[in-house]
Amino acid sequence: MRNVLTFVAALLVVGLATPTWSHFPPGEFLFAVQFPDENLPNVDGDISEWSVIPQVPYEVGNDMYSDAVYSKVRGEIDVSDLSVRQIVGWNDNNDRLYLMAEVFDNVHNTDREDPAQFWTDDAWEIYIAPTHPEAEGGGDYAPGSEGGIVKQSFNFGIPPIGGSWGQFLPDFEWRTDPFNGDNWVMEYSFEGEEFGESTYFYEMWIQPYDFIPDDGNREGAELTDLSDGDVIAMSWTFGDFDEPGTTYQGFWSTSPNGCCRADNDMVMSELDDSIDWGAAPEPTAVESDTWGRIKAQFQQ
């Protein structure tokens, strides 16, 4: 993990040199909004509490995604087919990352026979490497420079099928239990036709790790300690299927290099005094049993 505040100070000394540790695109930063302790979002699939966060510099909208599958450059999303936006947040006290995404899709497809094969349905894929390794691709699931596994992924086919969201790597049991609730929580809601034209709302928190031992020993795993100005490697992708049993209609990622990478530089922003957070959100009465989760228990 790097600290962008230290990095900026160094630039003033050595001149505006291109940083050798940047990922892709070089020199570009994304920004995670810092949530005050009293205004942590309820992860329940209702993203209304995120509405106070300004679009600039936090929202990552359609103009920031490219499609490596079909060689489409940034900004070429056909918004009548798919329109996406995402915001990442963090908290200094619990060191969690928070995510929301809003996804309009003219056809929301979920028909996978194997619950784990998220990549055959509309999907949300998140890849993080908090230690920001120099290795191409923002780290790997194999042993890394810190003596352990340095990249983690969270791959959701939505809605879950047969009690399975999709795939989580590394796939140690303490990370992959359905509806984990310990290392991550994800919930969703939607408006419109569930498997037709609709807008889905995704919400999540992640407890990131600097590394996980190769053997998966949880006691040896090191939690990430996030601070103002820290930079982690992080990318995400929206997979779009419009016709069951075919290939991607689109595979839109913040990484120009395509699938499964933690390429982008994500800055943990300082508290933003311009944001009027208002009153602390009320706890969600059914936070552990939202409609999406209850329904998934019976879906085959």
156 falls within a domain: yes
* 298 pLDDT more than 70: no
Q: How many domains does the chain have?
A: 1
Ordered DSSP codes for 160-197: EETTEEEEEES--HHHHSTT-SSSEEEEEEEEE-TTSS
CATH code assigned at 230? 2.60.40.1190
Ordered DSSP codes for 113-138: SSTT-GGGSSEEEEEEETT--SSTTT
- Cβ–Cβ contacts within 10 Å for residue 211, how many? 24
53 falls within a domain: yes
Q: How far apart are CA 267 and CA 232, in angstroms?
A: 7
Count Cβ atoms within 10 A of the Cβ of residue 234 and give its class: 0-12 exposed, 13-18 middle, 19 or more buried: buried
* 15 pLDDT more than 60: no
88 falls within a domain: yes
21 falls within a domain: no
Model pLDDT for residues 257-274, shown as the tens digit of each residue: 888 889 899 999 999 999
Assess contact for 125 and 210: CB atoms under 8 A.
no
Assess contact for 201 and 159: CB atoms under 8 A.
no
- Residue 87 has what DSSP assignment? E
Q: Indicate the SS3 state at residue 64.
A: helix
Q: How far apart are CA 2 and CA 146, in angstroms?
A: 14
Domain that holds residue 67: 2-12+28-273+286-296
20 falls within a domain: no
Assess contact for 268 and 1: CB atoms under 8 A.
no
Q: What is the mean pLDDT of the chain?
A: 83
62 falls within a domain: yes
Structure tokens of 177? Answer: 């239990």
Task: Looking at 59-205, list the stretches that DSSP marks H as alpha helix, in order from N- to C-terminal side.
Answer: 173-176
β-pair partners for 143: 149
pLDDT score of 242: 86
193 falls within a domain: yes
278 falls within a domain: no
Model pLDDT for residues 118-153, shown as the tens digit of each residue: 988 899 999 999 987 644 444 455 444 456 788 999
Mean pLDDT throughout 173-193?
93
pTM of the model: 0.85
Q: How far apart are CA 237 and CA 225, in angstroms?
A: 25
pLDDT score of 281: 65
Structure tokens of 205? Answer: 């928190």
